[in-house]
Structure 1
Amino acid sequence: MPSTAFSPVRWEPRIYRGSLELTGRVRGHVRRDLDGFPAEVASDVELCVSELFANAVEYTASGGEGGEVVRAMALPDAGRLRVAVTDGGFTETRPAIPELTGTDWFESERHRGLLMVSALALDWGFRSVIEHPTLNLGLVVWADFALAAGQAPSGLPRFIHAA
């Protein structure tokens, strides 16, 4: 029985002005780009991307004048969808889930986004855009989402242009 070879798929990256006002547009683009995927997967990805976008705007130079955020998405293999959000750098902190205890999680009005990403994604992490000993030229924060067999729509082109 012949096996069907999987060809990786990559969506054209989308670039957004670093403004929280654009969070709805970011979510809408994710929803549109994942048309044909299971609704649960698409909504998890949409929610996580909006959190990563908001973090980039809130905590990095992306939220400053002229700042931008880049969203990329790919199917590197048949069982995994990867999203990545790249910020503009210039911050001393690295993404981390805060160490809150007990009722602190219930009372906290902020800082739960990465906990949510961790809960919904198969895995997540970050890397520098360019390794440099003294400059922070931006971070790529990524999250992988599991896809069961057949959950990715068939016939996707290898590169999907932004509409």
Structure 2
Amino acid sequence: MPAAPSPSAFSPVRWEPRIYPGSLDQASRVRTDVRRDLAAFPDSVAADVALAASELFANAVEYTASSGENGEAVRALRLSAPDRLRLEVTDGGFTEARPAIPALTGTDWFTAERHRGLLMVSAIALDWGYFPVYEHPSLNLGLVVWAEFGLDPAQVPSGLDRFIHTR
């Protein structure tokens, strides 16, 4: 694998965002696209980011207007630092709910049929969170839910500019 750029030579890079119809049957396409976009990275990184992308996409479709008529969700990836890969999924808005890990206790986690996706994201990512697309007191234009993944800078492939757009 080619050597990674030195930290002093690093410039942030961003993959072209991908827009998906707001349907749960698109989750496999989200995973496939992430794996393709991260093909030059170690497989463990691509697998973790693909799992998180699938979970965040499913939440966007399940709990927001993304699943409505003509609904969509947007997936973005960026290398924000030499040792950080950031995933973002933007939903279609129109819900009062905010992403949170449910407060299940004891064996409830073992028998729960749903609501474990953010717990998985929390376990595989360095951190996760959300912010509104646009701060406005009466408009809900959606949330951007993000997760950051740690990278060994030596494993970041060189020549990424052939595959992505810098901004």
Q: Give the structure-1-normalised TM-score.
A: 0.94
- Following superposition, the deviation at residue 23 of structure 1 comes to 0.7
Tell whether 2:134 aligns with 1:98: no
* Residue 110 of structure 1, CA deviation: 0.2
Paired letter, 1:65: E
Hey, what's the Cα distance between the residues in 2 that align with 1:146 and 1:123? 9
How many residue pairs get aligned? The number is 160
Q: List runs of 5+ in structure 2 lacking aligned partners.
A: 1-5
Q: Give the partner amino acid of 1:143.
A: A
SS in 2 for 1:12: coil
Is the contact made by 1:10 and 1:159 (CA closer than 8 Å) also made in structure 2?
no
Match of 2:39 in 1: 35
Correspondence for 1:149: 153
| RMSD, matched Cα | 1.5
Q: Which amino acid aligns with 2:117?
A: G
What secondary structure does 2:70 align onto?
A: coil
Q: Distance in 2 between matches of 1:3 and 1:48?
A: 26
TM-score, L = length of structure 2: 0.92
Q: Between the two proteins, what is the percent identity of the paired residues? A: 71
Poorly superposed stretches of 4+, deviation over 2 Å: none
1:96-142 CA-to-partner distances (Å, cap 9, x unmatched) read 00000011000000000000000000110000000010221100000
Unaligned runs of 5+ in 1: none
SS in 2 for 1:160: coil
Contact 1:9–1:158 (8 Å) recurs in 2: no
Inter-partner Cα distance in structure 1 for 2:7 and 2:64: 45
Secondary structure (helix, strand or coil) at the match of 1:124 reads: strand
